[in-house]
Amino acid sequence: MRINNDQIKASNKELLDVHKEDLVQLAKKHKNLEQIIDTIAKYNIAIPSWALGAGGTRFGRFGFGGEPGNLEQKLDDVAVINDLTGSANAVSLHIPWDIPGNAEAIKAKAHLLGLNFDAMNSNTFQDQQDQEHSYKFGSLCHTDKVVRDQAVAHNKEVIDQGVALGSKSLTVWLADGSNFPGQLNFRRAFENTLASLKEIYAYLPADWKMFIEYKPYEPNFYSMVIQDWGTSHMLAKDLGEKAFTLVDLGHHLPNTNIEQIVATLVTKGMLGGFHFNDSKYGDDDLSVGVIKPYQLFLIFNELVYGFDNNKANNPIPAWMIDASHNLKDPLEDLIQSVEAIETAYAKALLIDQKALEKAQLANDVVASQRILQDAFQSDVKIILAEARLRNGAALDPIEAYRKMDVRKELINERGMNNAATGL
């Protein structure tokens, strides 16, 4: 199904007058309101193809009716999110969950829907049917060269698929590691990983980037080869200027200061992108902003400051969501995540950076805190709504989604038992 302009206009009609009045009031408060609305209106976040169906845990999965059963249907779902939010014009694919049968046709369909392809994700953490060698004991780090070669070849294939679709980046996340002390030689595993990554890197087209994701534990519970941002940064540095670190918010031990990691990476020009999600305990993959919205705001503060003072020429990061949920309608959940990211960004744009710098230089701790919290406590719903309006999207996307009965339509179209590919 495709949402059309008339449906959007109809859903906005009732809300429009109040919205316009609110906007006039808000303009009196913020001098740079126009600029902020413009920045938010131009901002886009990539949707992970693997989050369009119900997520699951190792204890089970509860399907959601009308899930997309193939890549074409996944694109249709991303278009629904984009049509309603005006801020999700890209999709991040995971291979082999999403192998495009006919890349030209998929590209043409995406183009028609106003979508493009963000980073391609390789998968050497699961064994596939007909795969010759198992990844049970690792992939790029494996003790056996034939396994490493197979994993390298897979990454090269993913690059080929991405080239055919017009993507410009590869995200590598490795489950490689060990469950028991003594199981793996740390140094050998690191060296093997670096050598394998070098082969993949050498295959990257000139205008591509490689993002290296880190994670402290899971699925391995004693050690992960790329356990933290330092390791990722070291590998990326060794590879060359097309390699960067990717920050998945759920991939940190509890209470890690993620905003500081972001600041440091931008200082060094090494921040490649994000996988946004939220968590209370580990890699919970909860909807963005549900647990620690202040942390997300502080991350965006570092991004706003970082890109206003971008001495190391850090490229604009890839903005991707990586959340997976058990309970909610996946499309509603992704809309909520998009909104949460934009909320944090808009609030960070409200920070008076000059006043903050002055307070910091004077070591005025109280003033610094007030400046941040004033911005964080501001209501930016109207800013987001106006940005959406200017993009021809819905003033209230969730409300519109429900009024349009999108899920019911999808169930009618696809049935109750269509299951999306993914974890």
The residue ranges that bind Mn ion (CB under 5 A) are: 248, 275, 322
Q: Which residue has the tokens 């209470």?
A: 255
Where in 274-313 is the site for ligand PSV (CB under 6 A)?
275, 283
Peptide bond into 96 cis (omega under 30): yes
Q: Shortest gap between Cβ of 359 and ligand PSV (angstroms)?
A: 37
Helix (H) or strand (E) holding 276: strand 271-276
Residue 388 beta carbon to ligand PSV: minimum distance, rounded to whole angstroms: 28
Question: From Mn ion, ligand PSV, none, which one binds at residue 339 (CB under 5 to 8 Å depending on kind)?
Answer: none
107 sits near ligand PSV (criterion: CB under 6 A): no
Q: Is 294 helix (H, G, I), strand (E, B) or coil?
A: helix
| Least distance in angstroms from the C-beta of 276 to ligand PSV | 11
Task: State the nearest-atom distance from the C-beta of 322 to Mn ion, in Å.
Answer: 4
Three-state secondary structure call for residue 61: strand
Residues forming beta bridges with residue 244, ordered by sequence position: 211
Determine how many CB atoms are found less than 10 A away from the CB of residue 118.
Answer: 25
Residues 170/122, Cβ–Cβ less than 8 Å? yes
Among 248, 278, 333, 396, binds ligand PSV (CB under 6 A): 248
Q: Which CB atom, from 85 or from 324, has the smaller least distance to Mn ion?
A: 324
Nearest distance from C-beta of residue 296 to Mn ion, angstroms: 16
Does 322 sit near ligand PSV (CB under 6 A)?
A: yes
**Shorter beta-carbon distance to Mn ion: residue 248 or 333:** 248
Instruction: Name the helix (H) or strand (E) containing 243.
Output: strand 243-248
Find the residue with minimal CB distance to ligand PSV: 173
d(CA 135, CA 393): 44
Q: How far apart are CA 419 and CA 409, in angstroms?
A: 16
Give the single-character DSSP code of 170.
E
Q: Does 176 bind ligand PSV (CB under 6 A)?
A: no
Residue 216 preceded by cis peptide, ω within 30: no
Cis bond leading into 254, ω under 30°? no
Report the half-sphere exposure of 392 (CA within 13 A, side-chain side): 9
121 binds ligand PSV (CB under 6 A): yes
CA distance 362 to 132: 63
- Residue 283, binding choice from ligand PSV, Mn ion, none, Cβ under 5 to 8 Å by partner class: ligand PSV
* Cβ-based nearer residue to Mn ion, 67 or 285: 285
CB of 25 to ligand PSV, least distance (A): 41
Instruction: Identify which of residues 120 and 384 has a Cβ nearer to ligand PSV in the complex.
Output: 120
Smallest distance from the beta carbon of 212 to ligand PSV, in angstroms?
11
50 contact choice in ligand PSV, Mn ion, none (CB below 5 to 8 Å, kind-dependent)? ligand PSV
* Residue 172, beta-bridge partner list: 212
Q: Rg of the Cα trace of the chain?
A: 22
What is the footprint of ligand PSV within residues 5-64 (CB under 6 A)? Answer: 50
Interface of this chain with ligand PSV, residues 354 to 393, rule: CB under 6 A: none
Instruction: Summarize as ranges the residues that interact with ligand PSV (CB under 6 A).
Output: 50, 121, 173, 213, 215, 248, 275, 283, 322, 423
